[in-house]
Amino acid sequence: MAAGNARIVRYIVFAAFFLGVLYFISNNQGYRIQSDLYNVGKTQPVTQPLEKEQPILNSGSGLASSEPLDTGAKLGGTSSDGVKIGGDGIGKSGSTVPGSGISNSESDSTKGSTRPPPGTPKQQTDLGEAAMAMTPNDHGWNDMLGTAPGPRMNATFVTLARNSDVWEIARSIRQVEDRFNRRYNYDWVFLNDKPFDETFKKVTTSLVSGKTHYGEIPHEHWSFPEHIDQEKAKKVREDMAQRKIIYGDSISYRHMCRFESGFFFRQELMMNYEWYWRVEPSIELFCDIHYDPFRYMAEHKKKYSFVLSLYEYVETIPTLWDSVKKFMKNYPEHIAEGNSMGFLSDDGGETYNKCHFWSNFEVGNLEWLRSKPYIDFFESLDQDGGFFYERWGDAPVHSIAAGLLLPKEDIHFFNDIAYYHVPFTHCPTGEQTRIDLRCHCNPKENFDWKGYSCTSRYFDLNKLDKPQGYEEQE
Ligand SMILES: Nc1nc2c(ncn2[C@@H]2O[C@H](COP(=O)(O)OP(=O)(O)OP(=O)(O)O)[C@@H](O)[C@H]2O)c(=O)[nH]1
Ligand SMILES: [Mg+2]
């Protein structure tokens, strides 16, 4: 009996050992399969319907290529012997596609990175020829996976940020990349009144598909100008603190507003570009952007654009309009014919109705901001001291400038760029638009047609048809 029991125990031990070996082998294989898949996915997401259009566009390098990084390098243009020759073929940012083995940043943070490009290697040799798909009926509308065809503008994203903003700006970049820039690879300029730290550079460079640049703002662009009476400015801050005016007691917020009003566009790094798209920390983009807004601006001769507009908090700008009127009197030659005074004033310019475009989102033309009319405008306002004796924001400053110095047709409303910056949302009006653009915003949160928005005024002034369904959102 004892011997029988021992035999049974031996069988059980043997069976357990055998099962253990089987389990180990199968698990091990599973791991290898997973890791292979992962590699493939990194190069080329397996779900993409790529083969359809690849053969002609891909210089013969199809999806099945066993040289994924090579394929990525070809985004920058490849000579016949396979040597990388840079990205002239697809514009400035095309030369910097990650995965080409070349660092995509001025910082050291991506050196040695073998990360594949964010878009698939679908690449057209005739990038400059392609028309933009603006509606679902246009050719190429659904080509949202590869690098976008078409020329690139001389454009950059621009963000003013502190090192402590890194995770908030990381969220914004991720959204901008996912919804737009992974297909376009535009550059990104980061500006700061202090040196950026390594974490900031590393994290942001890893997220941006174009080149990243980091600039430190010169002291004279982030300090009190000599003509400011420090005592007077201090009293204002104390008074605003007592009255609980948002950021009313902050010195740095005032430097920020003055910098955004008068200096960001003439930073050394920004001088390399003609177009900018401003991005702030913690914003959201809710819809796919199927076309290049920079190119849209250029082709339609726009100079300034917005997605949200509203009334300014009057306590922050009590004498701004007086200052503007002084400028108009001193520089009548700068006031554009057919301007948007009707957006800014309800009485022909006597008083300001506080309407402004919300400048935490802007796509605009840097040459315009660097032009004499704009510089004269900024300097005239700056002399009056309201950035420090009050708390003038860059939003009303930019908006009044755009409203007076530009013909009204130069200002564009991007209905199809769905956007959030606390606490307002622009969610495109019209269900079909939201479906076509694969939006994830709640239309009920759209601010455009609510009483505190000025967007209706913009539509009325420009005699534009409001999108279908706007009445239901008022
Ligand atoms: N380098 C630097 N950037 C700043 C400073 N203050 C604000 N910023 C940046 O300037 C932009 C505007 O500042 P915000 O604090 O977002 O101002 P806001 O949008 O009016 O207010 P919020 O509702 O807080 O977003 C953001 O991109 C900030 O990261 C500062 O002191 N230094
Ligand atoms: Mg902000």
**Residue pLDDT, tens place only, 170-224:** 999 999 999 999 999 999 999 999 999 999 999 999 999 999 999 999 999 999 9
Q: Contacts for 244-249 with beta carbons within 8 Å, 24 or more apart?
A: 245/313, 245/315, 245/316, 245/391, 246/313, 247/391, 248/315, 248/316, 248/391
CATH number for 154-472 (one of 3.30.390.30, 3.40.190.10, 3.40.30.10, 3.90.550.10): it is 3.90.550.10
User: Which ranges of 263-371 does DSSP label H, i.e. alpha helix?
Assistant: 293-299, 320-330, 341-344, 366-369
Quote the pLDDT of residue 19. 64
Whether residue 410 has pLDDT greater than 70: yes
Comparing 284 with 141, the larger pLDDT belongs to: 284
C-alpha 434 – ligand 1 centre gap (Å)? 30
Quote the pLDDT of residue 113. 40
Closest approach atom of ligand 1 to CA 162: 1
Contact 190, 205 (CB under 8 A): no
Nearest residue CA, atom 31 of ligand 1?
Answer: 252
C-alpha 396 – ligand 1 centre gap (Å)? 16
95: confidence class by pLDDT, cuts 50, 70, 90: very low
Contact 232, 384 (CB under 8 A): no
Whether residue 313 has pLDDT greater than 70: yes
Percent of the chain at pLDDT above 90? Answer: 68
Least confident of 39-48, 104-113, 435-444: 39-48
Burial 236-245, CB ≥16 within 10 A → b, else e: bbeebeeeeb
Whether residue 78 has pLDDT greater than 70: no
Write the single-letter amino acid at 88: D
Comparing 287 with 69, the larger pLDDT belongs to: 287
34: confidence class by pLDDT, cuts 50, 70, 90: very low
Percent of the chain at pLDDT above 70? Answer: 73
Give CA–CA dist 328/396, Å, rounded: 16
Contact 128, 88 (CB under 8 A): no
Write the single-letter amino acid at 417: I
SS3 of 335, please?
coil
Burial 351-383, CB ≥16 within 10 A → b, else e: ebbbbbbbbbbbbbbbebbeeebbebbbebbbe
Comparing 275 with 126, the larger pLDDT belongs to: 275
Give CA–CA dist 452/353, Å, rounded: 12
Give CA–CA dist 388/230, Å, rounded: 9
C-alpha 281 – ligand 2 centre gap (Å)? 6
Residue 314 CB neighbour total at 10 angstroms: 10
Burial 77-92, CB ≥16 within 10 A → b, else e: bbeeeeebeebebbbb
Whether residue 140 has pLDDT greater than 90: no
Looking at mean pLDDT, say which of 104-118, 138-152, 201-215 comes out highest. Answer: 201-215
Looking at mean pLDDT, say which of 21-25, 52-56, 355-359 comes out highest. Answer: 355-359
Q: Which of 360, 392, 422, 424 to mutate to test the pocket of ligand 1 (most atoms within 8 A of CB)?
A: 360
Quote the pLDDT of residue 130. 76
Which DSSP letter does residue 357 get? E
Average pLDDT in the chain: 81
As for ligand 1, residues whose beta carbon falls within 6 Å of it are: 159-162, 165, 192-193, 252, 256, 280-281, 360, 422
Least confident of 66-80, 182-196, 224-238, 382-396: 66-80
The number of residues in the chain equals 474
Closest approach atom of ligand 1 to CA 193: 1
Quote the pLDDT of residue 18. 63
* Residue 426, beta-bridge partner list: 419
Pairing of β 355-357 and β 424-426: unpaired
Give CA–CA dist 342/411, Å, rounded: 13
Whether residue 158 has pLDDT greater than 70: yes
C-alpha 387 – ligand 1 centre gap (Å)? 15
Quote the pLDDT of residue 189. 98
Residue 421: phi and psi, rounded to 5, are -135, 130
What is the mean pLDDT of the segment spanning 260-267?
98
57: confidence class by pLDDT, cuts 50, 70, 90: very low
Q: Which two tokens stand for residue 268?
A: 């050394």
Comparing 288 with 97, the larger pLDDT belongs to: 288
Quote the pLDDT of residue 462. 98
Nearest residue CA, atom 15 of ligand 1?
Answer: 253
Which DSSP letter does residue 217 get? P
- pLDDT tens digit sequence for 128-138: 567 888 999 88
Whether residue 29 has pLDDT greater than 50: no
423: confidence class by pLDDT, cuts 50, 70, 90: very high
Task: Just list the catalytic residues.
Answer: 362
Least confident of 138-147, 378-387, 437-446: 138-147
Measured CA angle at 251 (ends 246, 252), to 5 deg: 90
Give CA–CA dist 256/161, Å, rounded: 10
Contact 409, 268 (CB under 8 A): no
Furthest-apart CA atoms within the chain: distance in Å? 115
Whether residue 50 has pLDDT greater than 50: no
